[in-house]
A = this chain, B = another copy of it.
Amino acid sequence: MNQPTEPKADKSGVRRHNLSLVLRTVHDAGETTRAAVAARVGLTRPAVSSLVEQLLDLGFLVESGKTFSGQAGRPGTVLKPAGTGPAGLGVEINVGHVTVCLVDLAGTDRVRRTTAVDNRSAGASDVLARAAGIAAGVLDEAAALGLRPAGAALALPGLVSHGIVRQAPNLGWRDVPAAALFRDALAALRPAAHGLPAVSDNEANMAALAELRCGAPDAPRTFLHLTGGTGVGGAVVVHGELLRGAHGFAGEIGHLVVDARGPECRCGSRGCLEQYAGRHALLRAADAPDTDELAARAGRGEPRALAALAEAGRMLGRALSGAVNLLDPEAVVLGGVYPRLMPWLAPAVGEELAARVVSGLWPAGAPRLRAASPAADAARGAAGLVLHDVLADPLAHTAPEARPPGRLAETGGRRRTGAG
């Protein structure tokens, strides 16, 4: 047998699956009613009411007022994800900063700390211990808000496979078990965090996940996501899921070759996209000190700035045309330093896509090329990865005490209102 077999389905598995289905439906809607959930998931009203009761009792959902809008008949009680209880801890470690955030089940960024620090000047263990120190402070604040971490996820600038950072050249890391080191350092500082699940992944993947969750309701679910930084990070999202590849290394669009005889790249190849469209290459070509100044000069129409941006846009478009031909995404999302440079990059990118995408579905100026959402960053995406696990199996993430004090009375009160 040459393929993994999915788990069998049985009755307790069915209820567990349906609890997740109802929780995700409320989560995706933000606010909804039992009737709307039943219509959406195709279960009966009594079945949905029973599942909702359990999710209320376990603290995953809360009720909030009534709605008459959009529903025939009786008013419905509004359901929404709880603002207390399980939350995702996201940790972004980059060359010049550490960001830690805690995101609740409703998807709100509740606590966030960013510290500017030179992470190249210390070893991996020290950097991770420092990140754990910042995270410990975030957890103290979280406890005061009634939030408890369901897990931690680390976003790192490198190739990450099975929890090990294989290479992070800008940090100087090789084969670092980052998630385990972080988890142990955090448990040493806050014994309550002992046993907290921790994972790590490439920062570009995490930023793409954040885009998926912070984007508009009509945001694409199959897209390429580029993060313009020192390098050009990339991620591929297919039907709302990250494409990770066989070893977790998928998405390295920054190393697509745009000119085989081009300049040497730190990866060992030549003419990679990041040699033309990475921040360093762009600033060098424009002779600008930083991207703010580059944008200002382009805004004033300075020829050298405009030429550098047009050339970077052409190279981005050339690499993207190959990626679009290979993946047929709904959209390409440009993040990192690119959103503020879009007015000058987008025309050249669009021209290349229009000329080179074989399906003819990418006319220049198409809305399929878009800037990343300002709220989407890798730390937030990391926190979202934890919440994804909670939503997929809420029963695995219940509080130590299954039914908090006070819930019984509330339950009685709810029941008198009639199931909404």
Cα(A221)–Cα(B247), bound, Å? 13
Supposing A8-B41, A219-B2 touch, asked if A256 and B325 sit within 8 A by C-beta, the answer is yes
Supposing A219-B2, A257-B318, A260-B318 touch, asked if A328 and B247 sit within 8 A by C-beta, the answer is yes
**Contact call B29/A249, Cβ cutoff below 8 A:** no
B-facing residues in A239-266 (Cβ within 8 Å): 240, 243-253, 255-260
**Contact call B329/A326, Cβ cutoff below 8 A:** no
The copy count of this chain in the complex is 2
Cα(A183)–Cα(B258), bound, Å? 44
| Interchain CB contact (< 8 A) of A1 among B6, B25, B321, B327 | B25
Cα(A328)–Cα(B327), bound, Å? 13
Q: How many Å from the CB of A133 to the closest CB on chain B?
A: 32
- Count residues on chain A whose CB falls below 8 Å from chain B CBs: 74
**Would you call the interface of chain A mostly helix, strand, loop, or mixed?**
loop
Cα(A6)–Cα(B17), bound, Å? 10
B-facing residues in A317-338 (Cβ within 8 Å): 318-319, 321-323, 325-330
Annotate A297-319 by CB proximity to B: 1 below 8 A, 0 otherwise. Answer: 00000000000000000000011
**Contact call B327/A250, Cβ cutoff below 8 A:** yes
> Across the interface, which residues of B come within 8 angstroms of A77, CB to CB?
none
Q: Residue A73 at the B interface, CB < 8 A?
A: no
| Interchain CB contact (< 8 A) of A326 among B5, B28, B251 | B251
Q: Residue A236 at the B interface, CB < 8 A?
A: yes
Best-buried of A222, A260, A327 by chain B (most CB within 10 Å): A327
Q: Residue A269 at the B interface, CB < 8 A?
A: yes
**Contact call A2/B221, Cβ cutoff below 8 A:** yes
> Across the interface, which residues of B come within 8 angstroms of A253, CB to CB?
325-326
Chain B residue nearest in CB terms to A218: B2
Supposing A8-B42, A9-B9, A361-B247 touch, asked if A234 and B17 sit within 8 A by C-beta, the answer is no
Q: Residue A11 at the B interface, CB < 8 A?
A: yes
Best-buried of A28, A260, A325 by chain B (most CB within 10 Å): A325
Q: Residue A267 at the B interface, CB < 8 A?
A: yes
Q: Residue A69 at the B interface, CB < 8 A?
A: no
Q: Residue A398 at the B interface, CB < 8 A?
A: no
Q: How many Å from the CB of A375 to the closest CB on chain B?
A: 16
**Contact call A25/B5, Cβ cutoff below 8 A:** yes
> Across the interface, which residues of B come within 8 angstroms of A319, CB to CB?
322
Q: How many Å from the CB of A302 to the closest CB on chain B?
A: 26
| Interchain CB contact (< 8 A) of A3 among B240, B250, B260, B322 | B240
Q: Residue A356 at the B interface, CB < 8 A?
A: yes
| Interchain CB contact (< 8 A) of A259 among B221, B260, B358 | B260
Q: Which 4 A-B pairs have the closest CB atoms?
A: A245-B328, A252-B325, A256-B322, A250-B328
Chain A positions within 8 Å of B, measured between CB atoms, are: 1-3, 5-11, 13-14, 17-18, 21, 24-25, 28-29, 40-43, 159, 166-167, 217-222, 234, 236, 238, 240, 243-253, 255-260, 267-270, 318-319, 321-323, 325-330, 355-356, 358-361
With A9-B14, A9-B18, A247-B361 known, 12 other A-B pairs at CB within 8 A are A2-B221, A3-B240, A5-B25, A5-B41, A7-B42, A10-B14, A167-B359, A251-B326, A252-B328, A252-B359, A322-B322, A326-B326
